[in-house]
Every structure is written in structure tokens, then in C-alpha cells.
Structure 1
Amino acid sequence: MGLAVKLRMIAAVLLCFTAVVVQNLKTFTATHGPFNPGLFMLDNSATFSNGALQLTPNSAYERRLVAMPLENQSGRAMLRQPFKLREWEQGYNKKLDRVASFNSSFLFSVCPLGRNTTPGEGLAFIITQPFKYWLPSKSFGQYLGLTNINTDGDPANSLVAIEFDNVKQEFDPDANHVGLNINSIISNVTSSLTPLGIELAPDGEASTDGVVVFGVGGSVVSRGNSLAA
């Protein structure tokens, strides 16, 4: 609860965005790994390390290096290039309403720094408006870098997120789940990963062959053993 997330997105991160513009279908595809710092906006403790995107410090050495505590940390990384995901005509005609589709896949690690320690709360994949790239203050711990005690649930947050949560709060199903969040850390839909054989924050070493697909209606499809390494 509130401890630093030892989180490093490693290897390749594939971001595929498909947007509808006028009558033509345009596709954008990018693969990151190693990451190109020029393509991202970083906030708070987020940084790049050894070609990977690191949202918070993950060792006592880094803590001394950057004079930053490991506890109560959060970071955010946003693509600099915005994407138009929805388009409609003035006056709103539902028949002309067009919504883009996209998919993103990535590898990440969130685990304890050592034995008898608690891992960070998790992380979230976020979609928000271009001017909302900054990190809310005190958004560490259960807020997953999305909101804070004052802003949680506010429609002005203008965000949709998929959370990967490994610490149970009173509103969570367990300490190993994914959730669909809209403007709040209280998920609209959740699904435990334990029955699917996936563990977000394993105690020891684990493979990175886990796959989670969040489908229509909050359905979850999985493959593999773990989403951490």
C-alpha cells in the first residue's frame, strides 16, 4: 500500500492505432523497444533506463542517484503524437459517428524489491486528452498514477484506463486483477487473473509469456503463466 512500484516495461511495446479520417481508413503502427525518448512525454519519476521505460525508481542505488525515495512514487509516460479516436459531424448524427479501433501490447515487470517487502500497487494503460498528459499530485499507491483523493471520479479527468492491480482495496475483487476504469480508480468492470493462471507480481522469477486481452463487455482472454519477470 503506497510503496514504490518497481516497474519496468521491457522488450518491445507495440502500439497499433487505426483511425477513420474522412472516407479513408488510416493505420498507424509503431514498435518501441528500445524506447525513443523523443516520442514520449515523461512526468514525475518516469525515466528511460537501458532502453526500457521505467515509471518509478526500482533500486536503492537509483534512490541515492536521483535523491528520490522509493516509497509513494508514481510516474507517467504519454505518446507525444495524439490520435483522433472518434469523429462525428456537427449537431451529432449517430449514423455519421465513427470510432477508431486500436490495440496495444507490452511487457512489464512489477514485483517486490526483495523478500518481506510489498510491491507497488500496479500500473495502468491510459487514454486521455492531449492536455491531460501531466500526473496528478499524490497519485501514488492505490491511485495508480491516474487520480488522487480529490479528483477521483471527476468527469473532468477525461480518462479511460486498463489497470493491472496487485494490491486489494475494499472495492477490488482480489490482489491480482485487471479492470476497466473511467475517470476513477474504482473500476467499472474487473476480472481476477488468478483463475486464468496469470500472476501480476510473483514472488520469484517468472516468464514473460502472459497475454491478457480485454474484450467487449469486460471479457478477458488469457494465455501464459505470468505478466511479470
Structure 2
Amino acid sequence: MVSFLFYRAMASSSSPLLLLFVYLLLPTATSLSFSFPYFNSTTGQFIAFQNDTFLNGAISLTKNAYNTDIGSSVGRAYYNEPIPLHDAATGELADFTTNFSFIIDAFNKTNYGDGLAFFLSPFPSVVPPDSAGGSIGLVERNNSLNESANQIVAIEFDTFQNYWDPSADHIGIDVNSMKSVATVMWNSSIKDGRTANAWISYNATTKNLSVFLTYDKNPIFAGNSSLHHIVNLSQILPEEIAVGFSAATGLYSETHSILSWEFSSTPLRTRKKNRVGLIVGLTVSTGLILAAASFLCYFLWRKKKTANLKGEEHYADDIDDGEFEKGRGPKKFPFGDLAAATKNFADELKLGEGGFGSVYRGFLAEPKIEVAIKRVSKESQQGKKEYISEVKIISRLRHRNLVQLVGWCHERKELLLVYEFMPNGSLDSYLYGRDSNRYLSWPLR
């Protein structure tokens, strides 16, 4: 029974489970792209703002109020969904390209700082404490040059010369440190307020990270670069990353505005995160559910069977033999004697059948008499009550025309009543049998 239930459960659930496992094991294309030609309350919903960043017709990364202190301001803005970068299991790495336009403007054209950067970091983005000034909101000041303490890749547009910088205005590629691994001089737009357009690309095959910057009003990107560096991003960053912008001011200040932003990555043929764990979890969970279901079915089946057995065992337990055995009335017969008398209740000896059971003709070896034995049906709801009534009440009645109860038996889950045999049949067959003209005379009555 249990094995049958388990087989049925497995048969009914194996098909969808198999399909699910196949789906989970198949590689899927995971890529992401978006385009924000401008920023407003609608497009701003897709951007997470941190610290001093706010939306003002553009993404303002740092404070920009003329009548307030805007020094030592830090802000970040990043896309609020994780970006798939690589698959640690297969070693596959995605290409990506991003293009954005920005303006860095200074109130004081002589003293300004510190710059903005496009960054890649673990998702979600976390702004380090004490990261204003030369850290550009990317790393903590005390760990500016500590590569082991940081996990970030950034392209900085630096406007202030710190002791680790080659010059005041420069573009640099930073890998876990504010000391750039590659730099190029930059004639910034701070003094004339021009709009800069930048393209940053990564080739997963060559591991080349490149930067292109232009001030053309109608810029065209042809794949050329102003700066590049070979770096394996999969050895530095996690599988899913945050991409966005960071900026900061220090003793001197300036404003940092992102006007537009586009990003796209190539499809990454990777298995979904935690698929192996999910498959194992589903397999174990399904097995436990099926086992629990099988156990429950078995438990209910055993409970029902036990209840039936107990019901049968107690079918005649509460009948007191002492109440039946009074005087010279009906006697108790062993079940074996009654079974022998009816040839084990053979069908050819059956005289009739009613709602309470069947009646068999039999011959008792002791005393040597012919009898009619009623076998009370186990399915009868009133059978036990009728049995007790027959023995207690009818056995006490005495009339020469009343069928006498000879004996009784309640053994082996059976209720049996033994009557004297009537060779002429019953009263109703006498009155309404084949010869319907019969009637009872007063003396016979």
C-alpha cells in the first residue's frame, strides 16, 4: 500500500519536476541594458541616490547651493538593479559599454575640486565613511591607497591634485586604490562649462578597459580610446555588481551633474545563481513531501484498519453471558458446533436472507435436533441490538405456535441465534404463499 502510494505520488509529480530540473540546468542569457536620455521623476525611479545626491533636472551628485557650504560633500547614484558581470563556475565574463554626459562646474575658477567617477562595486553600493575630498566618495580616506581594504574599479575624472596624482586635471583608471594604474591629462570643462561625453568599454576577451572622452556637440564613438588598461574584472569584483557615479568635494568645491546615461552588457551564458542549491533543495524537499504524504496515507490506512479490527474484536465484548444463561432457557452453543451443523454455512443450506442476516438449516449432533440458525450480518446497524433482544426477551416467551429460541452464540466475531426448525415454513408463507386461500381457524390461532 505504501509503495503503491509512493509510486503514484512520484508518477504524478515526476514530469513537472523533471521539466523544472531541465529548465534549471539549461544555460540562460543574462544581460542588461538601459537608456536615460534625461532624468526626471520617472527615470529617477530606476536610480538609487546616496548621501548628498539629488534630482534637479539632472543627477546632482554633490551639494550645489550657492548660499550654503558645499564643501566636503559626498554623493553617489547607481542603477538600482544588480548587473551580471561574470560566472564564477564557468569563468565567463561579460562585455559592457556605457556612455554618459556630464558637467563639472566651479564657483571659483581658480580653486575647485575634487572630481567625479564612474564606478563598479559589489551590489548594493555602500558609501564609505570619511570619503570626501580626494577619495571622491570611492574609498575611505585612511584606505585611499590600501588595495587589500577596497573592492572597487573606477574611472575618475579628477580635478584636484593630491600627492598620489600626476596632475590636477586628469582621467585615471583606479583598481582598489585612488592611485590610478593608468592616467591621461585632461583639459577639463570647468572654466567654460562645456558638456563632456564619455564612453567606457570593457572587452571580456582581451580584458581591456578603455575610456574615450570628447566635448563635441555631436559626438561619435568609433571605438577609439583616450585611455585603456588590461584588467581581469572577474578577479576583483563579484558576479553581480553595482554600476553608477560617485563625486565629492573637499576644502574646495564644485558641482557634478550627470545629464544622460546609457548602459548595455552582452548576454552572459550562465546558470542562474544558486541553481545547484535550488535543485538539491527541491529534490530533498520533494522527497520529504512524498515521504510525509506516504506516511500519512499509511498512518490513516492503519488507523482505519485498527479501528475496524477493534470494532470487530469488541463486537460482542460487552454482552454478558450471565444475563443470557438463566434457568432452563436457551443455551450457549460453541461456534464450531453451529458451523458443523450448517456445513460451514453452506449456500445450499440457506433458507432465506433479510436485513439483519441470513438463516441456515442445520442439524445439531448434540442434542440431535434439526434447527434454523440465524447468522446476524456484521453490516447491520441494529444486528447486535436485535441479537440481545432475541436472547433476553423472546427466549422467555412460551407458546406452542411460537418458534422457540433454542440457543445462541457470540464467538469469533459472529452473532448466531439458534431456533427450532419449522418444516412448514413461516406464518407469512403459510398465509400468503402459493395457496392463498388458506386461513387460520380460531383453535389454530
Please say whether Structure 1 and Structure 2 have the same fold, judged by a TM-score greater than 0.5.
yes
Per-residue deviation, 1:170: 2.4
The runs of 5 or more residues in structure 1 that have no matched partner are 1-20, 64-68, 90-95, 194-198
Given residue 173 of structure 2, which amino acid in structure 1 is its aligned partner? L
State the superposition RMSD in angstroms.
Answer: 2.9
Q: What secondary structure sits across from 1:108 in the alignment?
A: strand
TM-score, normalization by structure 2: 0.38
The runs of 5 or more residues in structure 2 that have no matched partner are 1-25, 218-255, 258-445
* Structure 2 residue aligned with 1:134: 126
Q: 1:156 to 1:82 in 2, by over 3 A?
A: farther
Q: Can you list the C-alpha shifts for 1:63-94, whole angstroms capped at 9, x where unaligned?
A: 3xxxxx211111111211001101132xxxxx
* Structure 2 residue aligned with 1:53: 59
Q: 1:155 to 1:223 in 2, by over 3 A?
A: same
Given residue 110 of structure 1, which amino acid in structure 2 is its aligned partner? I
Percent identity of paired positions between Structure 1 and Structure 2: 24
Task: From 92, 95, 116, give the equivalent of 1:101.
Answer: 95
Q: What secondary structure sits across from 1:150 in the alignment?
A: helix
* Structure 1 residue aligned with 2:143: 151
* Structure 2 residue aligned with 1:28: 33
Q: 1:81 to 1:180 in 2, by over 3 A?
A: same
User: Are 1:202 and 2:190 counterparts?
Assistant: yes
Q: What secondary structure sits across from 2:142 in the alignment?
A: coil
Per-residue deviation, 1:112: 1.5
Q: What secondary structure sits across from 1:180 in the alignment?
A: strand
Given residue 141 of structure 2, which amino acid in structure 1 is its aligned partner? I
Q: Distance in 2 between matches of 1:209 and 1:115?
A: 17
* Structure 2 residue aligned with 1:173: 166
Indicate conservation of the 8 Å contact 1:119/1:201, yes or no. no
* Structure 1 residue aligned with 2:175: 182
Indicate conservation of the 8 Å contact 2:109/2:190, yes or no. no
Bigger-Rg structure (1/2): 2
Indicate conservation of the 8 Å contact 1:112/1:201, yes or no. no
Q: 1:218 to 1:175 in 2, by over 3 A?
A: farther
Q: How many residues align?
A: 188
Indicate conservation of the 8 Å contact 1:43/1:75, yes or no. yes
User: Are 1:164 and 2:176 counterparts?
Assistant: no
Per-residue deviation, 1:205: 3.8
Q: 1:182 to 1:83 in 2, by over 3 A?
A: same
Per-residue deviation, 1:217: 5.3
Q: Hey, which of these two has a bigger chunk of helix by percent?
A: 2
Q: What secondary structure sits across from 2:163 in the alignment?
A: coil
Q: 1:76 to 1:60 in 2, by over 3 A?
A: same
Q: 1:124 to 1:155 in 2, by over 3 A?
A: same
Per-residue deviation, 1:130: 0.9
Indicate conservation of the 8 Å contact 1:121/1:144, yes or no. yes
Given residue 189 of structure 1, which amino acid in structure 2 is its aligned partner? A
Per-residue deviation, 1:114: 3.6
Given residue 157 of structure 1, which amino acid in structure 2 is its aligned partner? N
* Structure 2 residue aligned with 1:73: 73
